[in-house]
């Protein structure tokens, strides 16, 4: 296969709100220093009612900040760049490409607690395909941020549509939100399902049905 750098052309879309530079590349913010971040953790520990200087907590600010570097690594990744290396020599392959059960680890932007689940991603190639690991990395790039599930689902789909310009894109995300299971209504076992269908997946019921069948039982998700 011959690898090609895909031009970042942006075809017209109806959903302009979820497009544009802010979709893939968050506006730069003035980041505090590591010392300031650690001090903020100490403040929260004191607010919770404990002593950040006691033996069990003295190293916690450093560990929390290092954990946050992993949790929110997506801010340092350009999702468009992930998909920029594509392949055009596909021997005429024009059927659906589906990646199921991609683990999603994200964080609720309202409460900063985990959102854990899985994503199913598909596209219908027009001319180019991308390495399958890139789709998983794209999910991770958007997941490792403060998010709401609806926006994350749209961002994943819109970026694939923007960069690969396929015949269609489909993304389904199923996840449990700890802001609902460990606080507030305390409802465990509840799964939120979001979907974004573009192109053929939106306009052709048979294409959409094929995708939903491939990722599991569509009737159980109420999306058929």
DSSP assignment string, 139-198:
HHHHHSSEE-HHHHHHHHHHHHHHHH--SEEEEEEEEEEHHHHSSTT--TT--EEEEEEE
Q: Are residues 120 and 178 in the same domain?
A: yes
Tell me, what CATH number does 42's domain have? Answer: 1.10.286.10
pLDDT-based confidence at 127, cuts 50/70/90? confident
Q: Is 8 annotated as a binding residue?
A: no
Does residue 118 lie in a domain region?
yes
Say how far apart CA 80 and CA 23 lie, in whole Å: 10
* pLDDT tens figures, 166-205: 999 999 999 999 888 888 888 888 899 999 999 999 999 9
Domain enclosing residue 46, as ranges: 34-74
Same domain? For 106 and 197 the reply is yes
Would you say 179 is a known binding-site residue?
yes
Q: 116 in a domain, yes or no? A: yes
Q: Which residues are catalytic?
A: 108-111, 149, 177, 179
In-domain check, residue 22: no
One domain, residues 113 and 211: yes
For the chain, the domain total comes to 2
Q: List, in sequence order, every beta strand (DSSP E) within 27-113.
A: 85-87, 97-108
Query: Is there a binding annotation on residue 120?
Result: no
Here the CATH number for the domain that contains residue 123 is: 3.30.1130.10
- The secondary element (H helix, E strand) that includes residue 81 is helix 79-82
pLDDT category at 94 given cuts 50, 70, 90 is: confident
**Residue pLDDT, tens place only, 38-50:** 999 999 999 999 9
Q: Tell me the pTM.
A: 0.83
């Amino acid at each position: 296969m011959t690898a090609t750098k895909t031009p970042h052309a942006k075809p017209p879309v109806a959903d302009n709100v979820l497009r544009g530079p802010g979709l893939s590349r968050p506006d730069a913010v003035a980041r505090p220093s590591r010392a300031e971040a650690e001090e903020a953790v100490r403040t929260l520990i004191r607010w919770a009612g404990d002593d950040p200087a006691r033996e069990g907590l003295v190293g916690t600010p450093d560990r929390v900040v290092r954990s946050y570097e992993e949790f929110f690594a997506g801010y340092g990744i350009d999702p468009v760049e992930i998909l920029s290396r594509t392949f055009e020599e596909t021997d005429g392959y024009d059927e659906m490409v589906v990646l199921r059960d991609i683990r999603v680890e994200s964080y609720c932007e309202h409460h900063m607690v985990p959102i854990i689940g899985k994503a199913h991603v598909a596209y219908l190639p027009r001319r180019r395909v991308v390495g399958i690991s890139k789709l998983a990395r794209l999910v991770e790039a958007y997941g490792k941020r403060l998010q709401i599930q609806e926006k994350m689902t749209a961002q994943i789909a819109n970026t694939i549509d923007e960069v690969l310009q396929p015949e269609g894109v489909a993304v389904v995300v199923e996840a449990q939100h700890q802001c609902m299971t460990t606080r507030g209504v305390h409802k465990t076992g509840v799964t939120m399902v979001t979907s974004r269908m573009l192109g053929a997946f939106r306009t052709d019921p048979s294409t959409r049905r094929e995708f939903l069948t491939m990722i599991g039982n569509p009737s159980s998700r109420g999306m058929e």
